[in-house]
Amino acid sequence: MSLFTGAGVAIVTPFDENDNINFDVLEELIEFQIENKIDAIIACGTTGESVTLSEKEHISVVKFTVEKVRGRVPVIAGSGSNNTKHAIELSQECEKVGANGLLVVTPYYNKTSQKGLIEHYTAIANSVKIPIIMYNVPSRTGFNMLPKTTYELSKVNNIIGVKECCSNMSQIAEIVNLCGEDFDVYSGNDDEILPTLSLGGKGIISVVANIIPKEIHDIVELYMDGNIKKSRELQLKYLKLIKTIFIETNPIPIKAALNMIGYNVGKGRLPLTTMGEENFKLLQDEVTKI
């Protein structure tokens, strides 16, 4: 039950000058993404600053995205938490407002164990009917979901895949080997799209697609169509841009880049702040090459 094959954008949440959600700009971003062949929209993930949204804001962004997308691509809602009860409540609310699937990060700060992960994800999966993609990002959570744990959770009916940000191709290979081709593995790192696809991955949940959706989509589509040379050329062409987008904590640079190309998304909510002057100039130099 794949939610998508290709490139999904982890879309930013735009804020106005008063730090309120700018729904007009969010609609512009949604249309820009769909016009440029994005395969899925992920609302309220890390890049969408879910951790500084109130629950009411969180659900309003998911609901708005579902309504504006109008079924043209899947809408996947971030609904993870380090509190299982809260993750269940958030997941159920996202399901109620029409999300096609959920992206659920591993618990952070209090972390848990591999056994706790299995119980955590199973409880969330049992509380909803829509598909779940797990999200493993050790650099942010301080905790790595092991391939054997992913395999055990792949047996849960509506857990259909994982977004892997482990930056470990051996781990991704082991996941694919254990879970088989019916379990969807997505790269969570824009600089690792091609390696993940080569191991049997289904695509990317991308940050950089916020500014170059068609190009990120094309990297996956070309590979899937057998044009590996052209896919590789595109991956390498945008490598420096990708590196620069992560020169500071995501989503600080991607919001700055969107502002540069004419989408007034504002800045991140505190504790995120604006880019340093030197890094801003480096980013500007790369964005002008798009």
**Within a domain: 120:** yes
The CATH number assigned to the domain holding 133 equals 3.20.20.70
pLDDT, mean of residues 180-195: 96
Instruction: Tell whether the model's pLDDT for residue 123 goes beyond 90.
Output: yes
Q: Which of 63, 68, 121, 163 is catalytic?
A: 163
Instruction: Tell whether the model's pLDDT for residue 1 goes beyond 90.
Output: no
pLDDT, mean of residues 134-149: 95
Instruction: Tell me the whole-structure pTM to 2 decimals.
Output: 0.96
Q: What pLDDT score does 46 carry?
A: 96
pLDDT tens digits, one per residue of 189-209: 999 999 999 999 999 999 999
In the three-class reduction of DSSP (H, G, I as helix; E, B as strand; rest coil), residue 96 is classed as helix
**Within a domain: 242:** no
Residues 6 or more apart from 236 whose CB is under 8 A from it? none
Can you give the residue range of the structural domain that contains 226?
Answer: 6-234
* Residue 109 a catalytic site member: no
Percent of the chain at pLDDT > 90 equals 98
Instruction: Tell whether the model's pLDDT for residue 255 goes beyond 90.
Output: yes
Strand partners, 186: 163, 203
The token duo for 201 is: 């991955």
Nearest Cα residue to 40 out of 192, 152, 158, 161: 161
Distance CA 223, CA 219 (A): 6
pLDDT tens digits, one per residue of 37-84: 999 999 999 999 999 999 999 999 999 999 999 999 999 999 999 999
**Within a domain: 270:** no
In the three-class reduction of DSSP (H, G, I as helix; E, B as strand; rest coil), residue 157 is classed as coil
Distance CA 88, CA 81 (A): 9
**Within a domain: 143:** yes
Instruction: Tell whether the model's pLDDT for residue 228 goes beyond 90.
Output: yes
**Within a domain: 44:** yes
Amino acid at the residue 247: I
**Within a domain: 152:** yes
Count the domains in the chain.
1
Distance CA 144, CA 147 (A): 9
CB 145 within 8 A of CB 115: no
Q: What angle do CA 260, 266, 272 make, to 5 degrees?
A: 110
Distance CA 89, CA 112 (A): 20
Nearest Cα residue to 253 out of 233, 279, 221: 279
pLDDT, mean of residues 100-119: 96
* Residue 129 a catalytic site member: no
Q: Which of 63, 121, 135, 255 is catalytic?
A: 135
Percent of the chain at pLDDT > 70 equals 100
Count the Cβ atoms, other than its own, within 10 Å of residue 211.
20
pLDDT, mean of residues 160-167: 95
pLDDT tens digits, one per residue of 6-36: 999 999 999 999 999 999 999 999 999 999 9
**Within a domain: 207:** yes
**Within a domain: 33:** yes
Per the prediction, the chain carries an average pLDDT of 97
